[in-house]
Amino acid sequence: MMTPRIAHILPFPDIAGTEIAALRLAQAARQRGWESMAFCVGPRVCEMFESEGFRALTYPEIQPSYRHPRQYWSESFNLARRFRQEGVSLIHCADLLAAEHVSLAALLARKRLVSHVRNRAEFMSRREQSFLWPVERFVFVSENTWQTFACRVSARRGTVLYDGIAPRPELEPAQRAVVREAVRREFQIPQGRKIIGMVGRISSQKDYATLVRAAAQVVRKHDVCFALVGDYMAPFHREVYQATRQLIASLDMEGRFIFTGFRTDTERLVAAFDIFVLSTHHEGFPLVILEAMAGARPVAATAVDGIPEIVQHGVTGMLHGKQDHNQLAANLTKLLEDPAMATRLGRAAREQVAGKFSEAAFTERVAGFYSSLRLPAVAPEGGR
């Protein structure tokens, strides 16, 4: 018996929050009987989907263009043919960029098109908006992401789909101590020094400058280091990485920061953190915060976009204003100086994840969304 097949479109070559979130979407859909596959611009993302049992193909990055319509139509026509050959019922774009890439291909293939909106998109040119009109439904990761979207989207055409995760058994103090000691040895962190960590690409979206300035205040009173877990080797990250290193050096903080680069063991590293921090300019619905909360880590984060829909200040974490390094420093200092409060916030955060943002709740939301679309099963061309 044929089942509907969903093609997830991944527009970035590296693995980060968007790619992991799309994979989890495919896994949730599979639990309820929908088949998924991935179209990726990078082989690393394909490998990630294949390792989880999904068919994955690469596709050439398509540049929508009114000036060069022949190439745009040719590339879109070829991708449309692949959609038909694979028997795709629905094209689900992991990000707006993906929707811009494949909207014409979806039209040519006569396939339904939905797009996730994972980050704030307050401003969008008419040209950009023109490539999004074929999108049937927009899936927003938070209420704020919907409210600030550049295009007006009616309730019929939009929906909010909160992500969720499955909290693993909480580590016992002795187990956490073993993990922390191993991380200390790996990065040569002195005994007794607290670890404050952040997970995310070293990119312009993240506000590392505010974190560094806050850190300069925190280290005056406390023996701490800051672990930055995320890729900085890609060419488009290098400028931000170099600027961040220069700021660290100018504040005489070089011995206090660790750049780990891309890691596949982020859960292990987060377990070693005394505090999890997310300093950012914009963030639709950061899965890394849920992961830290699920691990009962006290969280200090920027109060932007969808983050206040996850973190309640003083209850499940601490929030600071955008680019307010003084407030961030104060929040981190408070967590360091009041371990009982930090523990209380971490436990409350874990309880919230287990309820509102659990994997089971997420699977129900995904099932409800795909069911509402009434997807047909489509036979692949060529009998695949």
pLDDT tens-place string over residues 203-225: 999 999 999 999 999 999 999 99
- In this prediction, residue 384 carries a pLDDT of 54
Q: Strand 55-58 vs strand 35-40: parallel, antiparallel, or unpaired? A: parallel
Sign of the CA dihedral with 167 first, then 168, 174, and 179 last: negative
Name the pTM for this structure: 0.82
Q: Where are the domains of the chain?
A: 5-164+359-373, 173-355
Same fold, 5-164+359-373 and 173-355: yes
pLDDT tens-place string over residues 302-329: 999 999 999 999 999 999 999 999 999 9
- In this prediction, residue 3 carries a pLDDT of 85
- In this prediction, residue 380 carries a pLDDT of 82
The C-alpha atoms of residue 155 and residue 145 are separated, in whole angstroms, by: 14
- In this prediction, residue 1 carries a pLDDT of 58
- In this prediction, residue 270 carries a pLDDT of 95
Pick the CATH number of 5-164+359-373 from 3.40.50.2000, 3.40.50.10860, 3.90.1170.30, 1.10.150.120: 3.40.50.2000
CB 206 within 8 A of CB 281: yes
Residues forming beta bridges with residue 199, ordered by sequence position? 229
φ and ψ at residue 89, rounded to 5 degrees: -95, -35
- The stretches in the chain having pLDDT less than 50 are none
What is the architecture of the domain spanning 173-355?
3-Layer(aba) Sandwich (3.40)
- In this prediction, residue 236 carries a pLDDT of 73
Cα–Cα distance list, 159 to 23, 92, 146, 250, 258 (Å): 19, 14, 8, 46, 39
